[in-house]
Amino acid sequence: MTQSKRETERKYEPPSGGVAGLPDLTGVGPVASVTTAGPEELDAVYHDTEDLRLAGSSATLRRRTGGQDAGWHLKLPLAGDSREEVWAPLSDDLPEALRELALSRTRGARLRPLVRIRSTRVVRQLRDAKGRVLAELSLDEVRADSAAAAGGCAEWGELEVELADGADTGLLDVVEKKLRKKGIVRADSPSKLARALRDTGVGDGTVRPPSDVVAGSPGSYVLAYLRDQVAELVAWDPAVRRDLPEAVHRMRVTCRRLRSCLRSYRPVLDRRVTDPVRAELQWLAGELGATRDQEVLRERVGAALDGLPDDLVLGPVAARLRVWDVSRGDDVRSRTREALDTPRYLRLLDALDTLVRRPPLRAGAAGKPARTMARAVLKEYVRLAGRMDHALAQPAGRERETGLHEARKAAKKLRYAAEVTRPALGKPVARLGKRAKALQRLLGEHQDAVVAQDTLRGLGVAAHGAGESAFTWGLLHGLERAGADAVQRSLPGVWRAASDPALRAPLEH
């Protein structure tokens, strides 16, 4: 059993004088009263791999006793001041559920005790006029000890301000303003663990850019993009394992971005190393794709059905759709989860980590971005233009549909190649990428309509075979065909906008 919550907090240096040095926060924003609780004695042992893979990705794993939430805590970074905390009940051994959620970061390496952090905590609760807790100020006296026999120890004080669930994040700003007036400033470490690792001499797990990459070079831009996308892939893994909304889609898109970057920028990175990685990313995207395609179809067909008047829904249409989704959905979700538990997936994560730490640079990595990177973007445009011209020249039917699907994939590659280059080339390539994105989305709508037609035909045939009316399935099929036809009519205008020579002119000089 696990539980998850969003944790939003800021850390500060402790006030001189301890609790007596804290300002009175009554009347600050919506704070109507302040109550004091404690002291509490907290004892946490933090676990990580030998080379600090969790710490290097800003994640923490601890077993803590004391306080109201004793147990195992896995904290995963979110945007800004927030993290997601996944809790499991206290036990001697690490719960398997948390081990799985940390797997994309540990890549299967053994977890071991790293440091022990003991805290004596006094808490002040900020409450509104109805007595509801808005936030907690925790003043901690901390001692950290390395788990190694010859390790060091450290002691310090820390003030933490954490929002309660549902509280307005703006409260953190008004509280901070009050704290600053008392001379209380932000802590120089983002977490207790980060400071403990530093002050006890364990290390920090920081992944530093390779020393042979020249700042401002094509290699630096490509590697920065790759690092971001690898981090995205790792971060979406726990969400996919828990079937969170959009998680599969986002992880699949990240695979595509990585593949596209490695393909478009072969002059920067040696393809003898990157092509095998691309092949494995294609495998992973395929394993994720079955789940994502099912999600899209379910939402699309369900929305279309909900939009029909009741007198046009004949037979047990909704029930048949649910049965289809459950029977097919369970299979594809199991396929995705099984893929994430394979040694093949862990080998891919290892390969990606090695790629960004020790990139196989080619001569183009040290060239001028305006030359090497612009050329890569223009090459993707030429490929897209060829596919669009071919598709639009085909008569209506399967050949055109297949051609437009291939053009859609080319539009994605152009868009992603432009994303990599945008920090180097700025607005000109951003404009081209924006037009490619618009074209890709329109072609995506067309492809979704084509796939939905095939699914609806199958459902209609099954309904007819079971003695049910197939009228509604035929109606939905006709609506999807009409939608696909409408997209095809609008395509020439969108393509003219994306293929405007003025968009490419700044990149050709």
In a domain, 302, yes or no: no
Q: Are 158 and 142 contacting, i.e. CB atoms less than 8 angstroms apart?
A: yes
153-163 and 82-88 beta bridge pairing: unpaired
Q: What are phi and psi of 39, to 5 degrees?
A: -80, 155
Would you give per-residue pLDDT tens digits along the chain (509 residues)? Answer: 789 999 999 999 998 877 788 888 999 899 999 998 878 999 999 999 999 999 999 999 999 999 888 999 999 998 888 899 999 999 999 999 999 999 999 999 999 999 999 999 999 999 999 999 999 999 999 999 998 867 789 999 999 999 998 888 899 999 999 999 989 999 988 889 989 988 888 887 776 777 778 888 999 999 999 999 999 999 999 999 998 888 999 999 999 999 999 999 999 999 999 999 999 999 999 999 877 788 888 889 999 999 999 999 999 999 999 988 888 777 778 888 899 999 999 999 999 999 999 999 998 899 888 889 999 999 999 999 999 999 999 998 899 999 999 999 999 999 999 999 999 999 999 999 999 999 999 999 999 999 999 999 999 999 999 999 999 999 999 999 999 999 999 999 999 999 999 999 999 87
Burial category of 236 from C-beta neighbours within 10 Å (exposed 0-12, middle 13-18, buried 19 and up):
buried
Do 32 and 8 meet the contact criterion of CB atoms below 8 Å apart? no
Cβ atoms of 256 and 285 within 8 Å: the answer is yes
Are 350 and 375 part of one and the same domain? no
Q: What are phi and psi of 362, to 5 degrees?
A: -110, 180
Residues 273 and 339 in one domain: yes
How many domains, in total, are found in the chain?
3
Tokens coding 489:
């009519």
Q: List, in sequence order, every beta strand (DSSP E) within 55-168.
A: 60-65, 71-77, 82-88, 112-127, 133-146, 153-163
Cβ atoms of 197 and 203 within 8 Å: the answer is yes
The H-or-E segment that residue 43 falls in is strand 33-48
Same domain, 376 and 463: yes
Predicted confidence at residue 37, as pLDDT, reads 84
Please indicate, yes or no, whether residues 45 and 62 belong to a single structural domain of this protein.
Answer: yes
CB contact at 8 A, 226 and 265: no
The Cα–Cα gap between 479 and 486 comes to 11
Residue 245 has a pLDDT of 85
The whole domain housing 289 covers: 214-293+329-367
One domain for residues 476 and 379: yes
Residue that finishes a domain, picked among 176, 199, 222: 199
Q: Which amino acid type is present at position 171?
A: L
Q: Do residue 183 and residue 245 come from a single domain?
A: no
**Residue 17 belongs to a domain with what CATH number?**
2.40.320.10
Task: Please say whether the dihedral angle defined by the alpha carbons of residues 402, 403, 407 and 409, taken in this order, is positive or negative.
Answer: positive
Helix (H, G, I), strand (E, B) or coil at 165: coil
> In terms of domains, do 79 and 98 share one?
yes
144, 47: one domain:
yes
Say if residue 12 is in the same domain as residue 99: yes
- Residue 367 pLDDT: 82
Residues 355 and 473 in one domain: no
pLDDT at 281: 98
Q: What is the CATH number of the domain that holds 243?
A: 1.20.120
330 SS3 class: helix
**Domain-embedded: residue 157:** yes
Its pTM stands at 0.89
